[in-house]
Copies of this chain bind each other. A is one copy, B any other.
């Protein structure tokens, strides 16, 4: 069975543009994170669930290739997949398209680790969460 893909879409806000009249490159990371947040809600997790179990998910590595500029008011569609699932980390892959033309705008990945909020140390990802991620693994 092919891995599941999570999709979300949203509009580019004016504040996300810069003086070149395109989306500032740092904002793609915000978009990736926003999609990750929607993904967790889709899986049925709330932030409070995770918080109560005493975890953060700090980012340890980020990569992004910018293919075509995104502009104000563009409707962007993002695909999230699980590129790699390890005991203590997850690597999410992202592809971002302009919905109207299906042009690839950017692609990249973000690797996060599970970390105890008190200790700050890497810790195994909770089993319940692992189970929910599995269908999205390549």
Where the two chains meet, the residues of A that have a C-beta atom closer than 8 Å to any C-beta of B are 11, 13-15, 17-22, 24-27, 29-30, 33-34, 37, 46-48, 56, 58-66, 69, 71-73, 108
Contacts and interface: CB of A to CB of B under 8 A. Distances in A.
Contacts of A47: 72-73
Closest 7 CB pairs of A and B: A17-B19, A26-B29, A19-B21, A25-B59, A47-B73, A62-B64, A63-B63
A117 to B, nearest CB: 8
A48 to B, nearest CB: 8
A30 B59 contact: no
Contacts of A59: 25, 66
Given A46-B73, A64-B62, A66-B61, A29 B19 contact: no
